[in-house]
Structure 1
Amino acid sequence: MKCLKYSLVILVLVLVRFSVSAQDTLPKFSVKNVGNNRIIVGWVNKYEMVKQISIQRAYDSLGIYKTILSVADPNAIQNGFADTKATNDHMYYRLFIMLDKGMFFFSPAKKPVLDTARVVTQVTVDPKTGEKKIVVINTPSQTDSSIITQQTVIKKPEYIPSVYVYTNGDGYLFINLPDADQKKYRIKFFEEDNTFLFELKNIKESALTLDKANFIHSGWFHFELYNDDKLVEKNKFYLARDF
């Protein structure tokens, strides 16, 4: 009985710690519709006790949730997933979070939120500046609803953590490439000002950790992930100081 009470106290303390965390810090998370049939689920994790994080999806908030991904490194400080296989853009998402000693709980369910108030029809990204060019269609507040205006909006890039290259709970750089044995991956690393640092070629490991010593200092770094000569992703990551 004492053991049960102790476990309940620990669980309550854990949930309180989670509840006072900042926006989008576990168990809070964000679900954004960024266009082109992509739903981005993202969060920030500040807790070492997390043993497993799984993303689940359902057709409605009370429906049957199915796990679509269990993240490779649940202790990554910033993590996320791009869902490109959702049936529609108004499905519900939640997180299954397992803590130390087998304790677990579910986050509240959320639907995707558009990152613009307009109806997005096309999104393109400038490879040099990272700016998104969004072509939108607006219906004017006129009696004749058949009149449609089209305009182009330039939106500053928003940081979305990579699901391939990110910082793990120990502050090291983790590379997650589940199909590395079937592809010809290579990664180029750059300083924040785009000065080239080094390149990893012909990566065959599905999970790889790089020591921070490879990057000399803390701060932001950029990377480009290629499969052969095809650019898979261009993103950045942050390495914190050890003291």
Structure 2
Amino acid sequence: MCIDKLLAKIILTISIITISGVSAFSQALLPHITVHNKNGVNYITWTSGYTGIKQIGVQRSQDSLFNYATIGFIPNPDKKVNEFVDKKPPAGKSFYRLFVLFTNNSYFFTDATSESLQPATVEGPANNAPQSYGPSIYVYTNADGNVNISLANAKTHHYEIRFFDSENNFLFDLRNIENPLLILDKSNFLRSGWYHYELFDNDKLVEKWKFYIGDSVDKKGAK
């Protein structure tokens, strides 16, 4: 009888330890993700059943379909259980998705999941980009002010991008782009303001548009 009571106590103890070790937030299985907010910070979590993952980029938008910007990459993308912390999400509703790239260069986007944040909890400088501007889905600035170039089918095309300053003076170009996602450091543009670009595929103009570099570039150069 004493042995039975002891075994029951051990089983109960193990059960308590197991339950206490489980995260308070369940983690979705890719291609689904889970997003939750705690103290003004958004946590994006997921469980992966895939192998051979080369890169995972976390993207954020304030609508569910367009204008996604990459806000970071996962240092260990092949881990089964993973998490990304968005420390300064914008006010209102934010939608998140993952760009998952495999070692064989195949890829997919996860389903978008949203989380809301009240304006009172937001910290950090305001966006200085002028209003009434719609960013491109190909070339756009991310949360760090760097420039994202998102060309999902780059391997099967011959893309070239030419960059110009606000007065249309040629700055530099990128040729033979093969990566589906590139990030240009904002320091390449030297100062804040509007910049123009032209995106070509096989010498045919695909898009001609612009993006805005914030004043953090000027402050960095002044130090």
Q: Which has the higher helix share?
A: 2
State whether TM-score is above 0.5: no
If the TM-score is normalised by the length of the shorter chain, which range does it land in? 0.3 to 0.5
TM-score by length of 1: 0.41
